[in-house]
Amino acid sequence: MSDLSRPDDAPVASSAAQPGRPVAVDDYLGEFHVYEPHKAGLPPLKEYFKELWRRREFAIEMSRATIRATNSDTVFGVLWNVLNPLLLAVVYYLLVVVIRGGAHTLPHGYFAHLLAGLFAFYFISGCMAGGASSVTSAGKIIMNTAFPRMLVVLSAVFIAFRKFLPTMLVYFPVAFITGVGVSWVALLAIPMFMLIIVFGTGMALFLATSQVYFRDTSSFLPYFTRIWLYVSPVLFYPDDSFIVKLGVLELFNPLYFLLGGWSDLLVRGELIPWTMWAGAAFYAFATLIIGAITFMSRERDFAVRL
């Protein structure tokens, strides 16, 4: 019989209706598990993360299966993942040129900045969109297999990362063609992108939980991400007059630190102040902690809600 997950506080007496079947002693082992409503609360963290690590291959294989099912691993699939943000960057570039009154008013290397920012933003939005639908789209697996549900969200993050990697093969030629080049400071963009991954994972976990309880989350998400794009340092540099006009409000925007630092390091080749690193780390890990706690405290109730 398939493994089903049983909440820790589910009464053992509920197994009386199934005599002779062994009842699971935890959320993952055993042949017979019972779903029952439970109060929100964290599972035993040591056992949870131990099981999460033991089944890490499940998340990788699940992401590979999804990529194959959507033909994202084909030549045209990879090409579209690159062309989509690339064409969008061209559109935004022409739009900013019109607004500013000519290409001569743009800073040096603006197109490379726009491209790098959009590629990173698309990774974050991919984490958010994939994470939001990850649990609800895996309803049958969740109801018939006992495993840490966080694996399906991590699978969505891995898919977003796989789609991001080919885009950097486009950025570097553009950087050299536009005269921006790549300096040694660009190596520091790697730890900054690791913080972006942490932030994207936290957002994916939080939105995956929200989608289970509020099914309109995924419908609202595209509008939210589009607005978020416009007020983040993607179309403009972090020190651009438009961003400066937002003043202290921009300090409450996590992408100001994450994408602003990413662009300054990768495109401008400038060392960013420690406050930018501190802001990026704070928002990344705070989002991950909030998202993980929200997800783990509710995941044993997912099967009842789906």
The 10s digit of each residue's pLDDT in 5-16 is: 344 444 333 333
- The answer on pLDDT for 24 being more than 70 is no
Q: Quote the pTM value.
A: 0.84
Q: Average of pLDDT values for 166-170?
A: 88
Q: Average of pLDDT values for 67-77?
A: 73
Dihedral sign of CA atoms 220, 226, 227, 231 in order: positive
Report which of residues 3 and 136 the model is more confident about.
136
- The answer on pLDDT for 261 being more than 80 is yes
Instruction: Count the helices and strands in the chain (H runs, E runs).
Output: 12, 0
Q: Average of pLDDT values for 186-192?
A: 95
Domain ranges of the chain: 1-39, 43-305
Rounded Cα gap, residues 131 and 207, in angstroms: 6
Report which of residues 20 and 2 the model is more confident about.
20
